[in-house]
Amino acid sequence: MTTLFDPVTVGDLHLANRVVMAPLTRNRAPGAVPTPLMATYYQQRASAGLLITEATPVSHQGQGYADVPGLYTPEQIAGWQGVTRAVHEAGGKIVVQLWHVGRVSHTSLQPGGAAPVAPSALAANTKTVLIVDGVPTFVETSMPRALELAELPALVQTYRQAALNAIEAGFDGVEIHAANGYLIDQFLKTGSNHRTDAYGGAIENRTRLLLEVVKAVTDAIGGGRTGIRLSPVTPANDVIDADPQPLFDYVVRQLAPFGLAYVHLIEGATGGPRELPDRPFDYTALRASYRSAGGQGAWMVNNGYDLALAGQALEAGADLVAFGRPFIANPDLVARLKQGGPFNTPDRATFYGGGAAGYTDYATLPA
Protein backbone atom coordinates (compact mmCIF):
# COMPACT_ATOMS: atom_id res chain seq x y z
CA MET A 1 0.00 0.00 0.00
CA THR A 2 1.32 3.44 -0.97
CA THR A 3 2.17 5.78 1.90
CA LEU A 4 3.07 9.46 2.18
CA PHE A 5 6.67 8.46 2.73
CA ASP A 6 7.20 6.48 -0.46
CA PRO A 7 9.23 8.01 -3.30
CA VAL A 8 7.53 8.97 -6.54
CA THR A 9 8.43 10.27 -10.00
CA VAL A 10 6.49 13.38 -10.97
CA GLY A 11 7.15 14.41 -14.55
CA ASP A 12 10.89 15.05 -14.75
CA LEU A 13 11.22 15.17 -10.95
CA HIS A 14 12.14 12.28 -8.66
CA LEU A 15 10.74 13.00 -5.20
CA ALA A 16 11.85 11.38 -1.94
CA ASN A 17 8.29 11.30 -0.58
CA ARG A 18 4.74 12.38 -1.43
CA VAL A 19 4.52 15.23 1.08
CA VAL A 20 4.32 18.61 -0.65
CA MET A 21 4.70 22.00 0.95
CA ALA A 22 1.90 24.13 -0.48
CA PRO A 23 2.43 27.78 -1.46
CA LEU A 24 2.34 30.11 1.56
CA THR A 25 2.51 33.88 1.14
CA ARG A 26 4.64 35.31 3.96
CA ASN A 27 5.36 38.92 2.79
CA ARG A 28 9.05 38.90 3.67
CA ALA A 29 10.63 40.09 0.41
CA PRO A 30 11.07 43.89 0.62
CA GLY A 31 11.20 45.40 -2.84
CA ALA A 32 9.94 42.06 -4.25
CA VAL A 33 13.46 40.57 -4.04
CA PRO A 34 14.03 37.20 -2.29
CA THR A 35 16.32 37.38 0.73
CA PRO A 36 18.85 35.13 2.52
CA LEU A 37 16.27 34.71 5.29
CA MET A 38 13.93 33.19 2.73
CA ALA A 39 16.69 30.79 1.71
CA THR A 40 16.94 29.63 5.33
CA TYR A 41 13.16 29.25 5.58
CA TYR A 42 12.89 27.02 2.52
CA GLN A 43 16.03 25.04 3.34
CA GLN A 44 14.57 24.20 6.76
CA ARG A 45 11.59 22.58 5.00
CA ALA A 46 13.55 20.72 2.31
CA SER A 47 12.67 17.28 3.69
CA ALA A 48 9.31 17.61 1.90
CA GLY A 49 9.24 15.65 -1.33
CA LEU A 50 8.50 18.91 -3.10
CA LEU A 51 8.46 22.55 -2.04
CA ILE A 52 6.18 24.95 -3.91
CA THR A 53 7.18 28.54 -3.28
CA GLU A 54 4.91 31.30 -2.19
CA ALA A 55 3.01 32.77 -5.12
CA THR A 56 5.46 34.79 -7.23
CA PRO A 57 4.33 37.47 -9.72
CA VAL A 58 5.40 37.12 -13.34
CA SER A 59 5.46 40.89 -13.84
CA HIS A 60 5.14 44.16 -11.96
CA GLN A 61 1.55 44.34 -13.18
CA GLY A 62 0.99 40.93 -11.59
CA GLN A 63 1.87 42.23 -8.11
CA GLY A 64 -1.01 42.44 -5.65
CA TYR A 65 0.49 42.29 -2.16
CA ALA A 66 3.30 44.17 -0.49
CA ASP A 67 6.68 42.46 -0.04
CA VAL A 68 5.99 39.34 -2.07
CA PRO A 69 8.89 38.18 -4.27
CA GLY A 70 8.78 38.51 -8.04
CA LEU A 71 10.49 36.70 -10.90
CA TYR A 72 10.89 39.38 -13.56
CA THR A 73 14.12 41.29 -12.77
CA PRO A 74 17.78 40.23 -12.59
CA GLU A 75 17.85 41.07 -8.87
CA GLN A 76 14.90 38.77 -8.22
CA ILE A 77 16.46 35.93 -10.22
CA ALA A 78 19.69 36.32 -8.23
CA GLY A 79 17.75 36.29 -4.96
CA TRP A 80 15.93 33.11 -5.93
CA GLN A 81 19.25 31.49 -6.88
CA GLY A 82 20.21 31.73 -3.23
CA VAL A 83 16.97 30.00 -2.26
CA THR A 84 17.21 27.15 -4.76
CA ARG A 85 20.87 26.56 -3.95
CA ALA A 86 20.06 26.24 -0.24
CA VAL A 87 17.21 23.81 -0.91
CA HIS A 88 19.29 21.66 -3.24
CA GLU A 89 22.18 21.59 -0.74
CA ALA A 90 19.70 20.09 1.73
CA GLY A 91 18.62 17.47 -0.81
CA GLY A 92 15.24 19.03 -1.62
CA LYS A 93 13.29 19.80 -4.78
CA ILE A 94 11.58 23.16 -5.34
CA VAL A 95 9.28 24.71 -7.93
CA VAL A 96 8.09 28.29 -8.12
CA GLN A 97 4.42 29.23 -8.34
CA LEU A 98 3.87 31.65 -11.25
CA TRP A 99 1.27 34.28 -10.33
CA HIS A 100 -0.64 37.21 -11.74
CA VAL A 101 -3.16 38.56 -9.26
CA GLY A 102 -5.35 40.34 -11.82
CA ARG A 103 -7.92 42.46 -9.99
CA VAL A 104 -6.73 41.47 -6.50
CA SER A 105 -4.37 44.42 -6.21
CA HIS A 106 -4.10 48.07 -5.24
CA THR A 107 -3.05 51.04 -7.35
CA SER A 108 -0.10 51.69 -5.02
CA LEU A 109 1.37 48.32 -6.05
CA GLN A 110 0.89 48.80 -9.79
CA PRO A 111 3.32 50.38 -12.29
CA GLY A 112 2.74 54.12 -12.30
CA GLY A 113 -0.16 53.81 -9.89
CA ALA A 114 -2.36 52.37 -12.64
CA ALA A 115 -5.55 50.42 -12.07
CA PRO A 116 -5.18 46.65 -11.71
CA VAL A 117 -6.24 44.57 -14.71
CA ALA A 118 -8.92 41.89 -14.98
CA PRO A 119 -11.03 40.10 -17.57
CA SER A 120 -13.83 42.57 -16.79
CA ALA A 121 -14.08 45.83 -14.89
CA LEU A 122 -15.60 44.21 -11.80
CA ALA A 123 -14.19 44.98 -8.38
CA ALA A 124 -13.28 42.07 -6.12
CA ASN A 125 -14.97 42.06 -2.73
CA THR A 126 -11.75 41.15 -0.96
CA LYS A 127 -8.67 42.71 0.58
CA THR A 128 -4.96 42.83 -0.07
CA VAL A 129 -1.95 43.63 2.10
CA LEU A 130 0.00 46.89 2.12
CA ILE A 131 2.81 47.89 4.46
CA VAL A 132 1.63 51.00 6.32
CA ASP A 133 4.14 52.62 8.71
CA GLY A 134 6.04 49.34 8.73
CA VAL A 135 3.00 47.24 9.62
CA PRO A 136 1.21 44.76 7.28
CA THR A 137 -2.28 46.22 6.82
CA PHE A 138 -5.31 44.76 5.06
CA VAL A 139 -6.97 47.20 2.64
CA GLU A 140 -9.71 47.03 0.03
CA THR A 141 -8.58 46.20 -3.51
CA SER A 142 -8.74 48.88 -6.20
CA MET A 143 -11.25 49.01 -9.04
CA PRO A 144 -9.73 47.16 -12.04
CA ARG A 145 -9.94 47.87 -15.73
CA ALA A 146 -10.75 45.24 -18.33
CA LEU A 147 -7.80 43.93 -20.31
CA GLU A 148 -7.94 44.77 -23.99
CA LEU A 149 -7.78 41.94 -26.49
CA ALA A 150 -4.52 43.30 -27.93
CA GLU A 151 -2.84 43.07 -24.50
CA LEU A 152 -3.34 39.35 -24.01
CA PRO A 153 -0.53 37.94 -26.18
CA ALA A 154 2.06 40.00 -24.29
CA LEU A 155 0.51 38.93 -20.99
CA VAL A 156 0.89 35.28 -21.97
CA GLN A 157 4.54 35.94 -22.77
CA THR A 158 5.17 37.21 -19.24
CA TYR A 159 4.43 33.67 -18.03
CA ARG A 160 6.75 32.19 -20.63
CA GLN A 161 9.57 34.53 -19.65
CA ALA A 162 8.98 33.89 -15.96
CA ALA A 163 9.26 30.15 -16.59
CA LEU A 164 12.58 30.68 -18.33
CA ASN A 165 13.67 32.94 -15.48
CA ALA A 166 12.72 30.16 -13.06
CA ILE A 167 15.08 27.72 -14.74
CA GLU A 168 17.83 30.36 -14.70
CA ALA A 169 17.15 30.81 -10.99
CA GLY A 170 17.74 27.10 -10.41
CA PHE A 171 14.19 25.91 -9.85
CA ASP A 172 13.29 22.32 -10.67
CA GLY A 173 10.11 23.51 -12.36
CA VAL A 174 7.13 25.82 -12.09
CA GLU A 175 3.51 25.71 -10.98
CA ILE A 176 1.04 27.88 -12.91
CA HIS A 177 -1.32 29.53 -10.43
CA ALA A 178 -4.79 29.22 -11.94
CA ALA A 179 -6.68 29.16 -8.64
CA ASN A 180 -8.02 31.20 -5.71
CA GLY A 181 -9.61 34.02 -7.66
CA TYR A 182 -6.47 35.40 -9.29
CA LEU A 183 -6.15 36.39 -12.94
CA ILE A 184 -6.43 33.04 -14.73
CA ASP A 185 -9.20 31.92 -12.38
CA GLN A 186 -10.95 35.25 -12.99
CA PHE A 187 -11.03 34.42 -16.69
CA LEU A 188 -12.31 30.90 -16.03
CA LYS A 189 -15.31 31.80 -13.90
CA THR A 190 -18.57 33.44 -14.89
CA GLY A 191 -18.79 35.64 -11.81
CA SER A 192 -15.66 37.59 -12.77
CA ASN A 193 -15.61 37.18 -16.56
CA HIS A 194 -18.34 39.13 -18.38
CA ARG A 195 -16.44 39.44 -21.66
CA THR A 196 -18.22 39.02 -24.98
CA ASP A 197 -15.12 38.41 -27.14
CA ALA A 198 -13.04 35.26 -27.73
CA TYR A 199 -12.08 35.14 -24.03
CA GLY A 200 -15.59 35.26 -22.54
CA GLY A 201 -18.92 33.49 -22.61
CA ALA A 202 -18.61 29.84 -23.59
CA ILE A 203 -16.37 27.49 -21.61
CA GLU A 204 -14.05 27.17 -24.61
CA ASN A 205 -13.53 30.94 -24.54
CA ARG A 206 -13.12 31.36 -20.80
CA THR A 207 -10.43 28.67 -20.73
CA ARG A 208 -8.53 30.17 -23.66
CA LEU A 209 -6.10 32.26 -21.59
CA LEU A 210 -5.29 29.34 -19.30
CA LEU A 211 -4.49 27.05 -22.20
CA GLU A 212 -2.42 29.69 -23.96
CA VAL A 213 -0.36 30.17 -20.80
CA VAL A 214 0.10 26.42 -20.36
CA LYS A 215 1.24 26.07 -23.98
CA ALA A 216 3.67 28.98 -23.67
CA VAL A 217 5.20 27.63 -20.47
CA THR A 218 5.43 24.00 -21.57
CA ASP A 219 6.89 25.03 -24.92
CA ALA A 220 9.54 26.98 -23.02
CA ILE A 221 10.57 24.50 -20.30
CA GLY A 222 8.70 21.24 -20.99
CA GLY A 223 5.56 19.69 -19.56
CA GLY A 224 7.59 17.48 -17.22
CA ARG A 225 8.70 20.54 -15.29
CA THR A 226 5.28 22.24 -15.24
CA GLY A 227 2.43 21.86 -12.77
CA ILE A 228 -0.85 23.72 -12.43
CA ARG A 229 -3.04 24.68 -9.48
CA LEU A 230 -6.85 24.73 -9.77
CA SER A 231 -9.62 25.51 -7.27
CA PRO A 232 -13.02 24.63 -8.78
CA VAL A 233 -15.30 25.96 -6.03
CA THR A 234 -13.32 28.07 -3.57
CA PRO A 235 -14.93 31.44 -2.80
CA ALA A 236 -11.49 32.97 -2.20
CA ASN A 237 -11.16 36.51 -3.53
CA ASP A 238 -14.81 36.75 -4.53
CA VAL A 239 -14.92 34.26 -7.41
CA ILE A 240 -17.76 31.97 -8.36
CA ASP A 241 -18.80 29.99 -11.39
CA ALA A 242 -22.40 29.19 -12.21
CA ASP A 243 -21.60 25.58 -13.17
CA PRO A 244 -18.06 24.51 -12.18
CA GLN A 245 -18.25 20.76 -12.87
CA PRO A 246 -18.44 20.96 -16.68
CA LEU A 247 -16.00 23.90 -16.67
CA PHE A 248 -13.26 22.02 -14.86
CA ASP A 249 -14.03 18.76 -16.62
CA TYR A 250 -13.25 20.61 -19.85
CA VAL A 251 -10.15 22.21 -18.30
CA VAL A 252 -8.55 18.93 -17.22
CA ARG A 253 -9.37 17.22 -20.51
CA GLN A 254 -7.64 20.03 -22.37
CA LEU A 255 -4.66 19.86 -20.00
CA ALA A 256 -4.14 16.13 -20.54
CA PRO A 257 -2.11 16.37 -23.79
CA PHE A 258 0.46 18.79 -22.32
CA GLY A 259 2.25 16.09 -20.33
CA LEU A 260 2.20 18.09 -17.11
CA ALA A 261 4.18 16.97 -14.07
CA TYR A 262 1.13 17.36 -11.85
CA VAL A 263 -2.32 18.83 -11.35
CA HIS A 264 -2.76 20.48 -7.93
CA LEU A 265 -6.40 20.50 -6.77
CA ILE A 266 -7.74 22.60 -3.91
CA GLU A 267 -10.77 20.75 -2.60
CA GLY A 268 -13.51 23.00 -1.22
CA ALA A 269 -12.75 26.46 0.17
CA THR A 270 -9.09 27.41 0.33
CA GLY A 271 -8.11 27.21 3.99
CA GLY A 272 -11.73 26.44 4.92
CA PRO A 273 -14.35 23.68 4.62
CA ARG A 274 -13.50 20.79 2.34
CA GLU A 275 -17.12 20.58 1.22
CA LEU A 276 -19.43 23.52 0.49
CA PRO A 277 -23.16 22.68 0.63
CA ASP A 278 -24.02 25.35 -1.91
CA ARG A 279 -21.18 24.34 -4.29
CA PRO A 280 -21.14 20.54 -4.60
CA PHE A 281 -18.29 19.13 -6.67
CA ASP A 282 -17.14 15.63 -7.60
CA TYR A 283 -13.33 15.53 -7.45
CA THR A 284 -13.22 11.80 -8.13
CA ALA A 285 -15.07 12.36 -11.40
CA LEU A 286 -12.68 15.18 -12.24
CA ARG A 287 -9.63 12.96 -11.81
CA ALA A 288 -11.35 10.27 -13.91
CA SER A 289 -11.92 12.83 -16.68
CA TYR A 290 -8.25 13.75 -16.65
CA ARG A 291 -7.10 10.15 -16.76
CA SER A 292 -9.59 9.13 -19.45
CA ALA A 293 -8.32 12.00 -21.61
CA GLY A 294 -4.79 10.60 -21.32
CA GLY A 295 -3.52 12.79 -18.50
CA GLN A 296 -0.54 11.09 -16.87
CA GLY A 297 0.52 13.85 -14.48
CA ALA A 298 0.53 13.25 -10.73
CA TRP A 299 -2.72 14.16 -8.96
CA MET A 300 -2.04 16.41 -5.96
CA VAL A 301 -4.75 17.04 -3.36
CA ASN A 302 -4.88 19.96 -0.96
CA ASN A 303 -6.94 21.45 1.87
CA GLY A 304 -7.08 20.45 5.50
CA TYR A 305 -5.20 17.17 5.21
CA ASP A 306 -3.79 15.26 8.17
CA LEU A 307 -1.98 11.92 8.14
CA ALA A 308 -5.14 9.79 8.23
CA LEU A 309 -6.94 11.77 5.54
CA ALA A 310 -3.80 11.78 3.39
CA GLY A 311 -3.63 7.98 3.59
CA GLN A 312 -7.23 7.72 2.46
CA ALA A 313 -6.55 10.07 -0.46
CA LEU A 314 -3.55 8.04 -1.63
CA GLU A 315 -5.55 4.83 -1.38
CA ALA A 316 -8.30 6.44 -3.47
CA GLY A 317 -5.92 7.40 -6.28
CA ALA A 318 -4.12 10.62 -5.35
CA ASP A 319 -0.36 10.69 -5.87
CA LEU A 320 0.72 13.67 -3.74
CA VAL A 321 -0.71 15.49 -0.71
CA ALA A 322 -0.02 19.18 -0.13
CA PHE A 323 0.17 20.62 3.38
CA GLY A 324 0.06 24.38 3.91
CA ARG A 325 -0.20 25.92 7.36
CA PRO A 326 1.25 22.87 9.17
CA PHE A 327 4.56 23.68 7.45
CA ILE A 328 4.63 27.21 8.92
CA ALA A 329 5.30 26.00 12.47
CA ASN A 330 6.76 22.58 11.63
CA PRO A 331 9.76 22.85 9.31
CA ASP A 332 10.36 19.12 9.87
CA LEU A 333 6.73 18.24 9.15
CA VAL A 334 7.65 15.04 7.28
CA ALA A 335 9.35 13.60 10.37
CA ARG A 336 6.50 14.71 12.62
CA LEU A 337 3.92 13.11 10.33
CA LYS A 338 5.93 9.90 10.25
CA GLN A 339 5.97 9.59 14.04
CA GLY A 340 2.49 11.05 14.61
CA GLY A 341 3.57 14.37 16.16
CA PRO A 342 3.92 16.37 18.29
CA PHE A 343 3.12 19.43 16.20
CA ASN A 344 4.07 23.02 16.94
CA THR A 345 1.30 25.63 17.02
CA PRO A 346 1.77 28.50 14.55
CA ASP A 347 1.80 32.12 15.68
CA ARG A 348 -0.82 33.82 13.50
CA ALA A 349 0.51 37.26 14.40
CA THR A 350 3.67 36.53 12.41
CA PHE A 351 2.10 34.97 9.31
CA TYR A 352 2.51 38.09 7.16
CA GLY A 353 5.52 40.36 7.21
CA GLY A 354 8.28 40.70 9.77
CA GLY A 355 11.58 38.89 10.18
CA ALA A 356 12.81 35.62 11.64
CA ALA A 357 10.21 35.49 14.43
CA GLY A 358 7.49 33.06 13.47
CA TYR A 359 9.37 32.32 10.25
CA THR A 360 12.68 30.55 10.80
CA ASP A 361 12.69 30.15 14.59
CA TYR A 362 10.29 27.20 15.05
CA ALA A 363 11.83 24.25 16.90
CA THR A 364 12.54 20.94 15.20
CA LEU A 365 12.48 17.47 16.73
CA PRO A 366 15.63 16.33 18.57
CA ALA A 367 18.09 14.55 16.32
Q: How confident is the model at residue 17 (pLDDT cuts 50, 70, 90)?
A: very high
- pLDDT at residue 360 in the model: 98
Mean pLDDT of 109-116: 98
Contact between 3 and 311 under an 8 Å Cβ cutoff? The reply is yes
3-state secondary structure at position 357? coil
- pLDDT at residue 134 in the model: 85
| Spatial CA neighbour of 47 closest among 80, 21, 24 | 21
Domain count, the chain: 1
Given a cut of 80, whether residue 367 has pLDDT beyond it is no
Cα separation, 116 vs 210, in Å, equals 19
Quick check: is 358 in a domain?
no
Quick check: is 95 in a domain?
yes
Mean pLDDT of 128-152: 95
Quick check: is 356 in a domain?
no
Q: How confident is the model at residue 201 (pLDDT cuts 50, 70, 90)?
A: very high
Characterize the bridge pairing of strands 19-21 and 94-99: unpaired
Q: Each residue of 246-269: pLDDT tens digit?
A: 999 999 999 999 999 999 999 999
Q: Which residues are catalytic?
A: 182
CATH code, domain carrying 17: 3.20.20.70
Quick check: is 360 in a domain?
no
Quick check: is 268 in a domain?
yes
Does the pTM of the predicted model rise above 0.95? yes
Domain that holds residue 305: 8-350
- pLDDT at residue 1 in the model: 86
